[in-house]
Chain A
């Protein structure tokens, strides 16, 4: 088996909580000991509800946040604690796609210069070489050359999104973190965007980390899936197996909550009560125990470790 492209070992990112006088009064444990591996060419889905730490995890890997503890190994090299200059050399291999990549285009720049800029900063290509590269990328995202002379506002929303993606791809990254790339889109537009992601993955041999709260999208796009709850991974395994037979009680409730066309109505048998606790004040032991139907005394005392079960890993005493 090929070595993983990205490997996280006990990655921790805490944010200090301060009172009105600037004194630290506690920690917000956004990411609290996450270990996982992403293999070259795969799409790993990262799912969970708002506030579970999935975006913090993505941004910590990207270097937008520095890790509080733990290792980030990218292509065999520790990148979490590199000096600024060395970290910058890694930056072009790792790219982050925000919810709407089109919104990050400078309205006063034409598409051509926008696409040239990353190459000017990160490579030593000549102007002609850059132009060739830019045209190739633009074709790959399905836009005509004529668009190089347009301003972002002259494009439709979908075309802006494509330019935003082209801008990320000009550097030929190896790992792309997609943070909620389809939330807020209509299903038919979402389908076009997902198709584009798939074809780009083939063309450029990309590895994706796909952060989403939409389980049906993750199911369609990802071979493996990691489920997060309050800063920890509770279940990680092949998407098909996890969807077929979820083992962690949280994964079970999460899957049961997704409205499916043609299936039973969840409003008849959905059982999960309550809301996720505040991440400032994480329950002792297993974090899910306050809402878990299986919870017992042991869950409050002992935090379950991820253990192999049924061809995947699950963090639960009773799964």
Chain B
């Protein structure tokens, strides 16, 4: 498989009052071209931190990158010149769909102003990073071409009457419509990778279904890769080609969607799937609580809650091992061969 994005051994710490919290502990992650990868895990497991580390938008004060690399199309974004990353990658080759469509627009400017501002800097037709920040002129010919592209993309995300919609203010759109606008803005720079951070969590289930259907169709048609973070396993099953599960800052298992849900090999994945409520069935939880990241458990961070844990698990973090069919797992005692 050709690689588009490869994260290797990424470590991120956050300074807190009680000492540094090890939020990402030597994370590996791969996204291939045209692939929709789900990043699942419970709140606080580091999904959003990982997404932000890839985009290079970690909070500057508390966050410290302690090692590892983020390879995007062969260049390590952590060691590349920040100005080049800003120019060519962030917002262009890698775009972002936020969780909350309600606070992601400025309430005082029309949607047109906000989308055209994006296009001024990040349009695929702009050469070397758009106009200079000081002069800030937007060439008229490119403006017209960009505006056509905006209208076409709004039609693609099924915004009725795009030309009129552009003149409206964000509050005149419903949550579902605003998320459609966000998807349009993520697609407009013609990215190779879209990072979508829980894009449907704030929406009702029928609207969520519409948005997921739309997003999957659009990215498959354009061959764009998506890294889709979510805590809802049903949503991950719905939209992803491959799923990666994280626990307390470590990745545990990465597998094609069918294998992930059908033949999970990691004990954590199994407990997580078992805690999804089923029809009239028994409700099973995972005993214990998510550990503190300031003083995380040694070795495999899931070992205090794992029924298979041995002395080895307490000492050494398992190395990635590969099962059949691109199914990777990091566990000393993977459950192989049995169905879930």
Contacts and interface: CB of A to CB of B under 8 A. Distances in A.
Interface of A: 49-50, 156, 158, 186-192, 194-195, 198, 213, 215-217, 219-221, 239-240, 243, 253-254, 256-262, 265-268, 270, 272-273, 275-276
Nearest to A194: B283
Interface stretch (B86-94, B103-111, B270-278): B270-278
A253 B206 contact: yes
Contacts of B97: none
Given A187-B231, A272-B206, A267 B279 contact: no
Interface stretch (B14-22, B125-133, B208-216): B208-216
Contacts of B321: none
Say what secondary structure dominates the interface of chain B.
helix
Given A186-B43, A216-B234, A260-B237, A270 B279 contact: no
A240 B278 CA distance: 12
B205 A257 contact: yes
Contacts of B281: 220
Interface in B264-298: 271-273, 275-281, 283-286, 289
B213 A267 contact: yes
Given A49-B206, A266-B213, A272-B210, A188 B280 contact: no
B27 interface: no
Contacts of B278: 216, 219-220
A198 B279 contact: no
A156 B177 CA distance: 37
B207 interface: yes
26 contacts: A50-B204, A186-B43, A187-B272, A187-B276, A188-B272, A190-B277, A194-B277, A198-B283, A213-B204, A220-B277, A220-B278, A221-B277, A239-B280, A257-B206, A258-B205, A259-B212, A259-B232, A260-B237, A266-B238, A267-B209, A267-B212, A267-B217, A270-B209, A272-B209, A273-B210, A275-B177
A285 to B, nearest CB: 21
Interface in B128-178: 174, 176-177
B42 interface: yes
Contacts of A253: 206
A267 B240 CA distance: 11
A192 B285 CA distance: 5
B231 A156 contact: no
Interface residues of B, number: 41
B239 interface: yes
Given A191-B285, A259-B237, A266-B213, A219 B280 contact: yes
Contacts of B206: 49, 253-254, 257, 272
Contacts, number: 116
A192 B271 CA distance: 13
Nearest to B234: A259
Nearest to B212: A267
B205 A49 contact: yes
Say what secondary structure dominates the interface of chain A.
helix
B289 to A, nearest CB: 7
A265 B215 CA distance: 14
B258 to A, nearest CB: 9
Given A187-B272, A192-B285, A240-B280, A261 B209 contact: no
Given A198-B283, A261-B233, A262-B261, A188 B209 contact: no
A22 to B, nearest CB: 22
B276 A261 contact: yes
A311 B234 CA distance: 30
Given A49-B205, A186-B231, A272-B206, A191 B213 contact: no
A266 B213 CA distance: 7
Give 10 closest A-B pairs by Cβ, nearest first. Answer: A259-B234, A220-B277, A191-B285, A257-B209, A186-B42, A191-B275, A267-B213, A259-B238, A192-B285, A49-B204
Nearest to A269: B213
A243 B279 CA distance: 9
A235 B261 CA distance: 32
Contact of A191 (B232, B234, B284): B284
Contacts of A213: 204-205
Given A49-B207, A188-B271, A272-B209, 9 more contacts: A49-B206, A219-B280, A221-B277, A254-B205, A257-B209, A260-B237, A261-B276, A262-B261, A275-B207
Contacts of B42: 186-189
B235 interface: yes
B284 A265 contact: no
A314 to B, nearest CB: 19
A213 B204 CA distance: 8
